[in-house]
C-alpha cells in the first residue's frame, strides 16, 4: 500500500516539477510567469487534441509544447517588451486561454454524447531497474513524462549554477544593468526563459490530459499551475527547494486521491481532501520565514535615457 | 478635453473594438457571420427592455468584485481571491435568509443580510490581510488558494447542512419572496442591488480620495517604507484594506443570492472574480470607471448569452470568456501605447521649449 502511494505521489509530482522548475528558472531572471495556469491549460488541451486527432502521443506532446510556447510568447511580448504589469497580464491570458480551449473544444468536437477519451500514456517499466524491490515500483514503473522529469531536475540545477548561461540568467534577475553593460540583451534573456517555461508548462498540462486522465475538461488544471507557481516561492527560488516542495505536494495529492477513493474513512468529507493541497499552500506560505527573492522580480527593465 | 483623457478614451474604445473583432473572427471558424449575430444581439439589447435590464443586472456583482480588486491594488496589494470571498458572501446570504425569512420584515431582513455578507467576505479578506501583516505571508498566493478552499467548503455545505429539504440535489432551498431584493424596473429582472453597487462605488471613491484613511492606503501603496516613516502603520493598513476588499466581494454574494438566483447552487457564478480583475484593469482601478467598465462586461456577457440562444446559430457560451479575455488583453496593450503617446508628447513639448 505504501509503495503504491509513493509511486502515485511521484506520478502526481511530475507536472508540478515541470511547472515549478521552469518557474524557478524564469523567476531567477526576474520575470514571474503568471500565465502559468493558462499555459498548463492550453498544454492539456493541445496535448489532448493532438493525440486524439493524430493517434500519436509524440504528436500530442509536440502540439502541447508548441501551444504552451505560443501563450508564453504572448505573455512575454506584453509583460517583458511592452513592460506591462505581470500579474495583470497573466490574469488576462488565463481567462483568455480558458475561453479559447472551451470554445475550440466545442468547435472541433461539438457536444459529444459521451466524453471523448484517449488511452492515457502507458506505464513504461524500465527493464532491470523496475525489478528492484521497493524502489523499482516507485521510481521505475512510471510513464515517459516522469522519466523526462528525472533528467530535467539535474539539468536545470546544472545549467542554473554551473554554466555561464545560468550565471547570465541569475544576474539578469539580480543586476540587469551589469548584464546589459556586458553586452547581453536583458529582455531577450527574459523572453527566452519565458518561452522555455511555456514549453515545460505545456508538457505539464499534457500530463494531466494525455498522461493521466485520458480526457480534457475545462477545469482539468484547477489551480495546479498556481500551485507550481507557489512551489517556486516556497522552494526559495532554488531547483532543489522546488523538488522538495513538489514532492510534498505530490504526496499530499496522492493521499487525497487515496482518501477520496476509500470515502474519507467515513470521518472526513471528500471536500477536505480536495482542498488539502490548497490548504497546504496557505500553511506553507504563512510558515515560511526567510525568502531569497530575486532582487528584480516582477520589475521590467528599461535602459536609462 | 485634455490630451491624456482623450488618449484614454480613444485607446480604450479601440481595445474593446479589437477585442470584439478578434472574437468575431473566431466565429468564422464555425461558419457564423459575426456581423449578423453581433448586430442581431445588439439590436435585441437596445430594443428589448428585459434584455437591457439584464445588462445592468450582470454588471451589479461585477462592480463589487472589481472594486474588491481595485481597493487592495491601491495599497499595492493583490487580492486575487474575490471569487472565494464572494462564495463566503453567498453562503452567508442564503443561510441568514433561510433562517430569518418570515421572522423579520423584508427591509430589516435585507439590511441584516447585506451587513452579514459584508462581514462574512470581510472576515475572509481580513484574515488574508492579517496573515500578510503578522507573518509577511505572500497575499497573492494566499488569496489565490483561498478561493479553492472556499469552493470546497461551499460544496461541502451544499451537500450537508445547506442541502435542500427534498435532499435530491446539492443545492439549497429557494428563499421566499420576502427575502428577495425588490425589482427596480417593472418587466425586467433588474433589482435595487444595482443602485446599491453604484452608491458603494461612489462611496469607495470618496473613501480612497477624500478621507485620511484613503490617503493612508494610497500612501502605503505608492511607497510602504516612506509611509511607515511618516507614521502610517502599514501593517494595520494591510488588514483594513483586505477587510474592506473582502467585504466588497462578499456583497456580490448578497446581490446574486437575494437579487437573482434566490438559492445557492454548485459552481455558482464561477467567473465573476476573474472578470472583476479584468474590469478593474480596464478602469485603471478607478471606482467610478469601474461602474462603466462593469456595464460593458455585463453587456458582453448578455450578448454572448443572446448569441447562444439565437435560433439557427449555435454559438458556444464560452465565447463570453473569449470576448472578455481579448478585451482585457487589448486594454493592457493599450496602456503601452498610451505611455508611448504621452512620452512623445512630452518630448515634443520639450523640443518646442528649446527652440
Task: State how far the Cα of B188 lies from the Cα of B184, in Å rounded to an integer.
Answer: 8
Within a domain: B163: yes
Range of the domain at B148: 60-293
Q: What pLDDT score was predicted for residue B1?
A: 61
pLDDT, averaged per 10 consecutive residues of chain B (355 residues), comes to 80 90 89 87 92 96 97 93 97 96 93 97 97 91 93 94 90 93 92 97 97 94 88 92 98 96 91 90 91 94 87 80 90 90 88 77
Q: What pLDDT score was predicted for residue A261?
A: 82
Task: State how far the Cα of A90 lies from the Cα of B200, in Å rounded to an integer.
Answer: 28
Strand, coil or helix: what is B101? strand
Q: What pLDDT score was predicted for residue A305?
A: 44
Within a domain: B25: no
Q: In A, which residues are within 8 Å of B329 by CB distance? A: 74, 78, 89, 92-93, 96
Residue B108 CA from chain centroid, whole number: 26
**Which residues have a Cβ under 8 Å from the Cβ of A173 and sit 6 or more positions away?**
A27, A28, A29, A30, A294, A295, A296, A297
Q: In B, which residues are within 8 Å of A107 by CB distance? A: 29-30, 316
Within 10 Å of residue B300's Cβ, how many Cβ atoms?
24
The sign of the torsion formed by the CA atoms of A224, A229, A235, A239 equals positive
Domain boundaries, chain A: 2-121+135-287
- Contact at CB, B325 and A96, closer than 8 angstroms: yes
Distances (CA, A) of B298 to A177, A283, B160, B304: 45, 36, 33, 10
Task: State how far the Cα of A213 lies from the Cα of A207, in Å rounded to an integer.
Answer: 8
Taking alpha carbons only, the member of B240, B244, B237 closest to residue B203 is B244
Tally of domains in chain B: 1
Q: In B, which residues are within 8 Å of A97 by CB distance? A: 325
Grid cell of B187 as nine digits = 418587466
Within a domain: B39: no
Residues 145-184 of B with CB under 8 A from A: 145-149, 152-153, 155-156, 159-160
Q: What pLDDT score was predicted for residue A111?
A: 80
Instruction: Quote the mean pLDDT of chain A.
Output: 91
Strand, coil or helix: what is B32? coil
By C-alpha distance, the chain B residue nearest A228 is B141
By C-alpha distance, the chain A residue nearest B278 is A92
Q: What pLDDT score was predicted for residue A304?
A: 62
A100 touches chain B (CB under 8 A): yes
Distances (CA, A) of A57 to A71, A120, A210: 21, 9, 8
Q: In this predicted model, what pLDDT tens digit does every residue of A238-284 receive, in sequence order?
A: 999 999 999 999 898 888 888 888 876 667 888 898 899 899 989 98
Residue B146 CA from chain centroid, whole number: 17
Distance (Å) from the C-alpha of residue A159 to the closest C-alpha of chain B? 28
DSSP characters for B189-236? Answer: --BTHHHHHHHHHHHHHHHHHHSHHHHHHHHHHH-HHHHHHTT--HHH
Task: Give B15's Cβ-side CA count (13 Å radius).
Answer: 27
Q: Does domain A2-121+135-287 have CATH number 1.10.3470.10?
A: yes
Within 10 Å of residue B353's Cβ, how many Cβ atoms?
7
pLDDT beyond 70 at A179: yes
A85 touches chain B (CB under 8 A): yes
Crossing angle for the helix pair B234-256 and B272-282, nearest 10 degrees? 120
Q: Give the rounded percent of residues in chain A with a pLDDT score beyond 70.
A: 97
Q: In A, which residues are within 8 Å of B336 by CB distance? A: 78, 82-84
Nearest-by-Cβ selection for A99 from B145, B160, B321: B321
> ipTM of this predicted complex?
0.88
Task: State how far the Cα of A15 lies from the Cα of B354, in Å rounded to an integer.
Answer: 59
A283 touches chain B (CB under 8 A): no
- Helix, strand, coil content of chain B in percent (nearest 5): 75, 0, 20
Nearest-by-Cβ selection for A84 from B26, B144, B332: B332
Grid cell of A9 as nine digits = 505521489
Q: In B, which residues are within 8 Å of A98 by CB distance? A: 321, 325
Asked if B181 and B195 count as a contact pair (C-beta separation under 8 A), the reply is no
Q: What pLDDT score was predicted for residue B44?
A: 92
Of A97 and B1, the structure prediction assigns the larger pLDDT to A97
Q: In A, which residues are within 8 Å of B141 by CB distance? A: 226, 229-230, 233, 281-282, 285
Mutation choice for B interface testing from A103, A105, A187, A283 by most B CBs within 10 A:
A103
Radius of gyration of chain A (CA): 19
pLDDT beyond 50 at A12: yes
Query: DSSP code of B267?
Result: T
Amino acid at each position: 500500500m505504501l509503495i503504491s502511494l509513493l509511486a502515485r505521489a511521484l506520478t502526481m509530482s511530475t507536472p508540478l516539477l515541470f511547472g515549478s522548475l521552469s518557474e524557478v528558472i524564469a523567476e531567477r531572471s526576474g520575470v514571474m510567469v503568471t500565465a502559468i495556469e493558462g499555459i498548463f491549460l492550453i498544454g492539456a488541451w493541445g496535448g489532448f487534441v493532438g493525440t486524439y486527432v493524430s493517434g500519436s502521443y509524440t504528436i500530442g506532446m509536440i502540439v502541447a509544447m508548441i501551444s504552451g510556447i505560443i501563450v508564453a510568447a504572448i505573455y512575454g511580448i506584453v509583460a517583458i517588451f511592452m513592460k506591462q504589469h505581470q500579474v495583470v497580464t497573466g490574469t488576462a491570458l488565463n481567462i483568455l486561454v480558458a475561453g479559447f480551449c472551451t470554445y475550440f473544444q466545442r468547435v472541433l468536437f461539438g457536444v459529444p454524447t459521451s466524453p471523448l477519451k484517449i488511452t492515457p500514456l502507458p506505464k513504461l517499466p524500465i527493464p532491470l531497474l523496475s525489478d528492484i524491490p521497493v524502489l523499482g515500483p516507485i521510481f521505475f514503473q512510471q510513464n515517459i513524462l516522469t522519466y523526462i522529469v528525472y533528467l530535467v531536475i539535474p539539468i536545470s540545477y546544472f545549467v542554473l549554477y554551473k554554466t555561464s548561461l545560468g550565471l547570465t540568467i541569475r544576474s539578469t534577475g539580480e543586476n540587469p544593468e551589469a548584464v546589459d553593460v556586458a553586452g547581453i540583451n536583458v529582455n531577450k534573456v527574459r523572453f527566452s526563459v519565458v518561452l522555455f517555461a511555456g514549453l515545460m508548462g505545456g508538457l505539464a498540462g499534457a500530463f494531466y490530459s494525455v498522461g493521466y486522465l485520458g480526457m480534457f475538461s475545462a477545469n482539468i488544471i484547477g489551480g495546479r499551475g498556481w500551485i507550481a507557481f507557489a512551489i517556486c516561492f516556497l522552494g526559495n527560488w532554488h531547483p532543489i527547494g522546488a523538488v522538495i516542495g513538489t514532492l510534498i505536494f505530490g504526496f499530499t495529492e496522492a493521499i487525497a486521491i487515496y482518501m477520496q477513493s476509500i470515502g474519507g474513512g467515513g470521518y472526513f468529507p471528500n471536500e477536505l481532501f480536495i482542498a488539502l493541497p490548497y490548504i497546504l499552500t496557505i500553511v506553507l506560505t504563512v510558515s515560511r520565514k526567510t525568502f531569497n527573492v530575486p532582487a528584480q522580480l516582477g520589475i521590467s527593465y528599461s535602459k536609462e535615457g | 478635453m485634455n490630451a491624456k483623457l482623450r488618449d484614454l478614451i480613444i485607446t480604450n474604445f479601440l481595445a474593446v473594438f479589437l477585442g470584439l473583432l478578434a472574437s468575431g473572427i473566431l466565429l468564422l471558424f464555425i461558419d457564423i457571420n459575426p456581423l449578423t449575430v453581433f448586430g442581431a444581439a445588439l439590436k435585441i439589447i437596445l430594443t428589448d427592455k428585459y434584455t437591457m435590464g439584464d445588462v445592468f443586472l450582470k454588471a451589479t456583482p461585477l462592480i463589487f468584485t472589481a472594486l474588491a480588486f481595485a481597493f487592495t491594488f491601491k495599497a499595492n496589494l493583490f487580492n486575487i481571491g474575490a471569487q472565494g470571498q464572494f462564495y463566503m458572501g453567498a453562503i452567508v446570504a442564503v443561510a441568514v435568509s433561510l433562517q430569518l425569512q418570515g421572522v423579520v420584515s423584508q427591509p430589516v431582513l435585507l439590511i441584516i443580510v447585506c451587513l452579514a455578507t459584508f462581514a462574512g467576505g470581510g472576515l475572509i479578506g481580513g484574515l488574508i490581510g492579517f496573515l500578510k501583516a503578522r507573518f509577511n505571508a505572500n497575499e497573492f498566493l494566499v488569496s489565490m488558494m483561498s478561493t479553492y478552499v472556499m469552493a470546497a467548503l461551499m460544496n461541502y455545505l451544499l451537500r450537508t447542512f445547506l442541502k435542500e429539504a427534498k435532499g435530491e440535489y446539492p443545492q439549497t432551498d429557494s428563499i421566499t419572496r420576502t427575502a428577495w431584493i425588490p425589482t427596480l424596473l417593472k418587466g425586467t429582472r433588474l433589482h435595487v442591488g444595482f443602485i446599491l453597487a453604484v452608491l458603494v462605488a461612489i462611496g469607495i471613491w470618496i473613501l480612497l480620495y477624500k478621507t485620511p484613511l484613503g490617503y493612508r492606503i494610497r500612501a502605503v501603496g505608492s511607497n510602504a517604507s516612506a509611509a511607515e516613516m511618516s507614521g502610517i502603520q502599514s501593517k494595520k493598513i494591510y488588514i483594513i484594506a483586505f477587510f474592506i476588499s473582502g467585504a466588497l466581494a462578499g456583497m456580490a454574494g448578497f446581490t446574486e443570492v437575494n437579487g437573482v438566483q434566490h438559492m445557492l447552487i454548485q459552481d455558482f457564478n464561477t467567473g465573476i472574480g476573474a472578470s472583476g480583475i479584468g474590469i478593474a484593469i480596464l478602469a485603471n482601478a478607478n471606482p467610478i470607471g469601474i461602474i462603466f467598465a462593469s456595464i460593458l462586461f455585463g453587456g458582453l456577457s448578455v450578448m454572448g448569452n443572446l448569441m447562444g440562444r439565437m435560433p439557427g446559430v449555435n454559438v458556444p457560451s464560452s465565447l463570453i470568456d473569449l470576448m472578455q479575455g481579448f478585451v482585457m488583453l487589448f486594454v493592457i496593450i493599450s496602456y503601452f501605447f498610451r505611455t508611448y503617446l504621452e512620452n512623445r508628447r512630452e518630448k515634443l513639448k520639450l523640443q518646442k521649449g528649446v527652440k
